[in-house]
Structure 1
Amino acid sequence: MKLHNISFGNIKRRKGKMLFLVLGLVIGISTVVTLLSITESMTRNIEQRLNRFGANIVMVPKSENLSLNYGGIDVGGVSYNVREFDQEKLANIRTIKNYKNLSIIAPKVLGPVKVKNKNVLLMGVVFEEELALKTWWHKIGGVFPEKENEVMLGSQAATLFGFKIGDAISLLGKPFKVTTILKPTGGSEDDAIIAGLSASQKLLGKEGRLSMVEISAFCQGCPISEMTLQIAEKFPFAKVTAMKQAVMSKMQSIDMFKSFSLGISLIVILIGSLLVLVTMMGSVNERTREIGIFRAIGFRRGHVMQIILLEALLLGIIGGILGFGIGNLIAYGIIPLVIKDGMFVGINMNLGVISILMAVALSLLASLYPAFKASNMDPSEALRAL
């Protein structure tokens, strides 16, 4: 009789106890899979939300002066003598080492213009990039500019000058049409007139020049700090700043949840391992006569250990597969309740392989001592139980 046939036969005869052993593994593995799936879904959800928050890398010309502006309040009339970027060199950003992590590059030109004898900020943008970057921009009405002679107004600028959609506006003697008025955002665009990049450069006499560049480069695990340094190397006269506060705070929250999840998982796995140990010990004690007969008819200690460990291996595989499947089902049902608008990220086959290996390892480790005890059983002592 082959050893694996003995192991199969023992599992069939002791279905109740083996089911209890598998249940311990399933609880442990399914808990780990559920928590890790929820964590991955949270990470994806936050990544998508942060991608909608706009730029997290800002590139502006270097200045030898300190800013005297805080929270939108300017406390000094310092005249800044700064360099502007050459628009032709903007493509160099796409040559950095981590260029694949770059998402949106939104160049801008800034300058003052007079409207009704009042100074107002003119912001020239590439509307396609800007609207993709700032998804929180919503129209009060109208359509976003598509032509060079079309502009949109921030909510405060429109209120101050009394402009409405369709009105004509003169900027430095050039006629423009107001096609959009933005809803209040709380940002600098509330006080600005926003026009196309090319038209603004011509108005301000800054053809081929850029005042600043906003970059969206967030993704899970993106080396934001390294990317900042890489961009700075390409533009030595620029000050490149990573807007990491929002990213770091969110990712720290995820890391804390991951740590909590791993802690809970370890506790549950420990409980599952104890269930395996107790069940296997009980099985060995019940099988004293059987083990004694095996030893009496010539089975070596290694054979006895192989029989018990093979049982543990088979039960570990079954527990790992069931635990992985149940864990995914639980995560699929719980994620919409835990995360608003959250979605199950799908079955991670790598996690499935890890789950099965983990269940097998736990089952084998918890069965080592019972197997060792069984293999060292004295045949004469065992046969006295007959």
Structure 2
Amino acid sequence: MNIYSISVQSLKRRRTKTFFLIFGLVLAVSSVVTLTVISKNMSESVSKDLDEYGANIIITPKSNELALNYGSLSIGELSYDRSNLFESDVDKIKEIKNFKNISVISPKLLVVDKIDSLQTLIAGIKFDKEYALKKWWKIDGRIPEKASGVLLGSEASTKLKLNLNDKILIKGTNFSVVGVIQPTGSQDDAMVFIDLHIAQQLFDKGENLSLIELSALCYDCPVEEIVRQISQKLPNAKVSAIRQSIDSKMAAVAKFEDFSFGISIVILIISLLIVFTNVNSSLNERIREIGVFKAIGFRNRDIFKIVFFEVLIASGIAGLLGYLIGIAAANIIMPLLDSNAVIGFKFDPEIFLIASMLSIVVGIMAAFYPAYKATKLDPTVAFRTL
């Protein structure tokens, strides 16, 4: 009989002790897995909400002129017939450290011009970027795919008396209306959207831009940090973070993560005590057995290995059970916190590794002192109990 088989047989003989040993570890692992999965999914939910809210960073030229507004949002001191931003600034933004947290960069050129004798705000945009930024847009027709296509806001369509497939003359150039945005309740309703590069050519703006809007997925990094990094890259621009109701949800996630961390620490301490008490009690009942082992030639490290492998086997089982129970618990709890949350039972190797390592580390930490105490047992003392 070798050390490994002794450990296995010991676990089988003491089923009640083994149950409580595994139970203590499962309690720790499943709780941490549940809280980790919920925190992760809540962060991803915030990420999606940020994306759906649209721009949360806006970049405008610095100016000492009178401040203007872009819809309900302040965009700095901006004149529609002048721009101090350039397309090359977009490339500079891509060089910042946290660029991976930026999902959409939408540059714009805003100009005011007459269309059919009506003063109209015209926006030169990159249609794919703008539509990615404003996912709430509902369009009758389609997004322009060619430079000759134009997208109208609902109010602009009504006042200009233009419908799908009608022709529109802008700066002496004919365009075709390929899409009309349904009412949004924003400044977009009164605007005419054309291709950015076409707008720059028509109004002789070169590579100038009026503003750049960004959607930053900052559930895992502060928006202020991205603003700071962009400001360093664009010293002649004003970079502003737009505050929206999503901030309250980000704050809630941060508080939940802090709460989860605190609860996890408490549960780990309780589990350590459960495992420590269980292993220590088990070894106290095995004084005679350990004395016999030492009497027949088992060395201190052999005794330590027996206890170590018992805990290691129990920890491995507890890690797997804790992972499965934790995922199941997260699937029950998460919909109560977010009605749109869907976790499922897909295998997450990262969380499974955390669960396994946590179970093993907690088990070894709790069992170290009892195992060490067992190695110091005097065989003659053990035989006195016979």
TM bucket by the smaller chain? 0.7 to 0.9
RMSD (Å) for aligned C-alpha atoms:
3.5
Matches of 1:7 and 1:259, distance apart in 2: 39
CA contact (8 A) 1:63 1:82 kept: no
Deviations 1:107-139 (A, max 9, x none): 211111234654331112121221122111112
CA contact (8 A) 1:292 1:383 kept: yes
Deviations 1:114-173 (A, max 9, x none): 34654331112121221122111112x223334444422223333445544344444455
- Report the equivalent of 2:105: 105
Q: Secondary structure at the match of 2:53?
A: coil
Q: How far apart are residue 203 of structure 1 and its match?
A: 4.1
Matches of 1:102 and 1:382, distance apart in 2: 68
Q: How far apart are residue 63 of structure 1 and its match?
A: 0.6
Partner AA of 2:14 in structure 1: R
> TM-score, with normalisation over the residues of structure 1?
0.83
Asked if residue 84 in structure 1 is aligned to residue 68 in structure 2, the reply is: no
Q: How far apart are residue 318 of structure 1 and its match?
A: 2.3
Matches of 1:196 and 1:71, distance apart in 2: 21
Matches of 1:381 and 1:73, distance apart in 2: 82
Q: How far apart are residue 288 of structure 1 and its match?
A: 3.2
Count of residues paired in the alignment: 383
Greater displacement, 293-302 / 281-290: 293-302
- Report the equivalent of 1:7: 7
Q: Secondary structure at the match of 1:260?
A: helix
CA contact (8 A) 1:154 1:191 kept: yes
Partner AA of 1:216 in structure 2: S
CA contact (8 A) 2:111 2:122 kept: yes
Q: Secondary structure at the match of 1:185?
A: coil
Q: How far apart are residue 385 of structure 1 and its match?
A: 3.2
Asked if residue 183 in structure 1 is aligned to residue 179 in structure 2, the reply is: no
CA contact (8 A) 1:317 1:359 kept: yes
CA contact (8 A) 1:63 1:80 kept: no
CA contact (8 A) 1:328 1:347 kept: no
Matches of 2:13 and 2:87, distance apart in 1: 78
Matches of 2:363 and 2:116, distance apart in 1: 80
CA contact (8 A) 1:29 1:324 kept: yes
Matches of 1:311 and 1:181, distance apart in 2: 70
Matches of 1:98 and 1:305, distance apart in 2: 49
Gaps of 5+ in 2: none
Partner AA of 1:19 in structure 2: F
Deviations 1:304-324 (A, max 9, x none): 444323322222222223322
Matches of 1:208 and 1:311, distance apart in 2: 71
Deviations 1:84-116 (A, max 9, x none): 334456444444455555443322111112346
Partner AA of 1:357 in structure 2: M
Partner AA of 1:154 in structure 2: G
Partner AA of 1:30 in structure 2: S
- Report the equivalent of 1:260: 259
Greater displacement, 57-66 / 218-227: 218-227
Instruction: Within 5 Å, give how 1:332-351 maps onto structure 2.
Output: 332=331, 335=334, 338-344=337-343, 346-351=346-351
Asked if residue 158 in structure 1 is aligned to residue 157 in structure 2, the reply is: yes
Partner AA of 2:273 in structure 1: L
- Report the equivalent of 2:131: 131
CA contact (8 A) 2:81 2:111 kept: no
- Report the equivalent of 1:316: 315
- Report the equivalent of 1:26: 26
- Report the equivalent of 1:209: 208
Q: Secondary structure at the match of 2:112?
A: strand
Partner AA of 1:26 in structure 2: V
Q: Secondary structure at the match of 2:54?
A: coil
Deviations 1:169-221 (A, max 9, x none): 44455544433221222322122122222343344343432211223342554
Matches of 2:318 and 2:73, distance apart in 1: 63
Matches of 2:73 and 2:361, distance apart in 1: 62
- Report the equivalent of 1:284: 283
Q: How far apart are residue 225 of structure 1 and its match?
A: 4.3
CA contact (8 A) 2:138 2:181 kept: yes
Q: Percent identity?
A: 38
Q: How far apart are residue 30 of structure 1 and its match?
A: 1.5
CA contact (8 A) 2:55 2:214 kept: yes
Matches of 1:56 and 1:181, distance apart in 2: 25
CA contact (8 A) 2:157 2:180 kept: yes
Matches of 1:116 and 1:83, distance apart in 2: 25
CA contact (8 A) 1:149 1:176 kept: yes
CA contact (8 A) 2:279 2:370 kept: yes
Q: Secondary structure at the match of 1:52?
A: helix
- Report the equivalent of 2:46: 46
Q: How far apart are residue 36 of structure 1 and its match?
A: 0.7
Partner AA of 1:105 in structure 2: I
CA contact (8 A) 1:65 1:80 kept: no
CA contact (8 A) 1:62 1:83 kept: no
Distance 1:357 1:170, change over 3 A: closer
Distance 1:53 1:269, change over 3 A: same
